[in-house]
Every structure is written in C-alpha cells, then in structure tokens.
Amino acid sequence: MSSLEELKLELKNLGQEYAKIKTLPESERKAFGEKLNAKKSSILNAIREQEEAAESINIEPIDLTAPFGENTSPFKLTRGTKHPLSIELDHVAEIYRQMGFSVIEDRQLDDEFHMFDSLNFPAGHPARDGYDTFRTSEGFIPPAHTSTMQYRALTRFRDHLDKYGQIAVVIPGRVFRNEDVDATHEHTFYQCEGVFVSKDATLGQLLATWQKFFETYYGQKLNIKTQPGFFPFTEPSLEFQIEKPKSLGGKGDGWLEMGGCGMIHPNVLKTAGIDPEAYKGFAWGGGIDRLVMLKYGINDVRYFESGKLEFLEEF
Ligand code: DAH
C-alpha cells in the first residue's frame, strides 16, 4: 500500500494530467477525463482510509478495569508527604500532652475582642498597632498571634479550677502578620500558646515548663535565660531565650529568642470570669517555624509556604 505522502504526491501529479486534456483530439477527451476522474476518486478514498486508520492508532484505549497503579495509570504517581510544620506541630502538641496539658485548636479568623480587648489592650493604645494585623473588610482579624485563644481557653476550662484545681492548655495555631517577607519573616506562620492557672502558679513554674519543653524537643540539656519584655496581657512580661543546642553547632555563645511569656494580667483573668485574688496564671507563646528551622538547619522561612516539592519531599 502506498504511504500517505505518496498518495498526496500522486494526487498532485494527477492535476498535471488534467492539463493534457486540452491537447488531445476531441474524440478522445471524454474517455481520458473519465479515466482520470476514476483514478482521482480512488486516490482520495485511499487517503481518507489512511487518515482514519492513523487517527484510531493515536487514540490509546483506556482499560477502565485496570488497577490504579504506577504501571497502569496514565498519570505519574507520587506519594504525598505531611508538611514538615504539621509533623512538628503534632510533635510539639504531643510533648505538652505528656506534660499534662490539654491541646485545643485555634481559629484562622478572629475578632477585635479576642485579639485586643480580652487581652487587656486599652482602647486606642498604640500597642494595638504593634502586631501588623490584617483585617477583612467586614472587620474580622486573621489572628496575629495565638494569644487570641487565651480568653477561650480560660472560659472553656474554667470549671477545671473547681474539678482539678488548675487549667493547663496549649493551643498550636496558624497566625498572620502584614510583614515584608524575607528569609526570617513570613506573613503566615505558626505559634504555640500555653496557659496555666492555679491558686499558686509562679514564674518559676513557667520557666521550668518551657525549659522542659525545649529540652524534650531538642533531646538535650539546654541553658535558658529571660529578659524583661512588655505585653499588655502579662505582668511581669518576659522574653525567653535558649542557648543554641550543642548538637546543632552551638558553642555556648549563641542565644536564640524563642518567644514571650509572663504572669497572666489580673484583668485578663477577670474578663474571663476568674477571680485574680483567688487564682494566678502564667502564659507563653512562641514561634514554631523558628523551632523547626533550628532543628533541621533550614535557613529561609519562606520554604515552608513555598509549596516546593523538592523541599517538602525531604521530610
Ligand atoms: N503573643 C505574643 C507574640 O506573639 C507572645 C506572648 C507573650 C504570648 C507573652 C504569651 C505571653 O502568652 O504571655 O508576640
């Protein structure tokens, strides 16, 4: 059988044959023309047949009964992995759970009351501008820190004070700030908040809680230190630092800022319906991204939100 190209060439040459009709004697023209027409229609038929055959060859039949797998699926299959921050958030929550804390979920859209009022930010106080908060056009606030959950933790577990003599809750969560993004700043990141209330909670217990957490997370003894800070929702307020873990290249000279903490301000307890004369509390909050970056030697926070598969597949 002739190839498609050959047939097309034949068809073209046939065009020149038609031109010869004029040179023939009148009596022969009809028969010659009919012969050419017959030849032309047989070439056209052959071309159509070949084109139809080529089309059906290109359509690969799909076997709908085939199992969905690497060798049978037309799609490339890759196994999904958990996001590194999800893995580490689970790990963080588990450490606190083992230390006796309940773990509750945060929310990703909050309001003025939980972001500021319930946390003792005075109305119109400049500290309200210090959190680079986003706002929706309806006036909602994507939380700028997990402290927005303090009021909910305190009210939801208030009855634990009578039942167990204490409230012990941590809240891992996703937070948002209107920041310029660079290697150490993201607009979307993660924090973990902790809240503890009892009749005689102390700063010493707070520091021991955090030290225990960090030593468990990094699996080694760590030096810690604090420096004075300011947060409207704690009094006194502290910033918490750990010495860079030795296994991660620390030489006893690098201090890393890990978050803020302090004794819960009496107004915060009062707003949540807890008598500050009868109960004391401490709270703390720190970044998870930073914790994880240090653990794995990740030098750019933007990897986490990048969606880059080469990065995600490493975990
Ligand atoms: N929410 C604060 C921040 O993101 C950190 C913080 C400070 C949380 C003191 C606390 C606290 O619970 O008591 O900057």
Sorted by where each begins, the domain ranges of the chain are 4-58, 84-312
Span 207-265, pLDDT tens digits = 999 999 999 999 999 999 999 999 999 999 999 999 988 777 766 668 999 999 999 99
Backbone angles phi, psi at 38, to 5 degrees: -65, -45
Is 285 a pocket residue for ligand 1 (Cβ < 6 Å)? yes
Backbone angles phi, psi at 35, to 5 degrees: -60, -45
Instruction: Tell me the C-alpha distance between 245 and 185, whole Å.
Output: 22
Instruction: Tell me the C-alpha distance between 101 and 97, whole Å.
Output: 5
Residue 114 CA to ligand 1 center (angstroms) comes to 13
Hey, what CATH topology would domain 84-312 get?
BirA Bifunctional Protein; domain 2 (3.30.930)
Question: Residue length, the chain?
Answer: 315
Residue 297 CA to ligand 1 center (angstroms) comes to 25
Span 148-167, pLDDT tens digits = 999 999 999 999 999 999 99
Residue 231 CA to ligand 1 center (angstroms) comes to 7
Backbone angles phi, psi at 182, to 5 degrees: -150, -165
What is the value of pTM for the model shown? 0.76
Instruction: Tell me the C-alpha distance between 172 and 305, whole Å.
Output: 17
pLDDT confidence of residue 74: 62
Is 234 a pocket residue for ligand 1 (Cβ < 6 Å)? yes
Is 265 a pocket residue for ligand 1 (Cβ < 6 Å)? no
Residue 69's pLDDT band (cuts 50, 70, 90)? low
Residue 106 CA to ligand 1 center (angstroms) comes to 15
DSSP state of 73: -
Cis peptide before 236 (omega within 30 of 0): yes
Measured CA to CA in angstroms, residue 111 lies from 135, 142, 143 at distances of 9, 8, 8
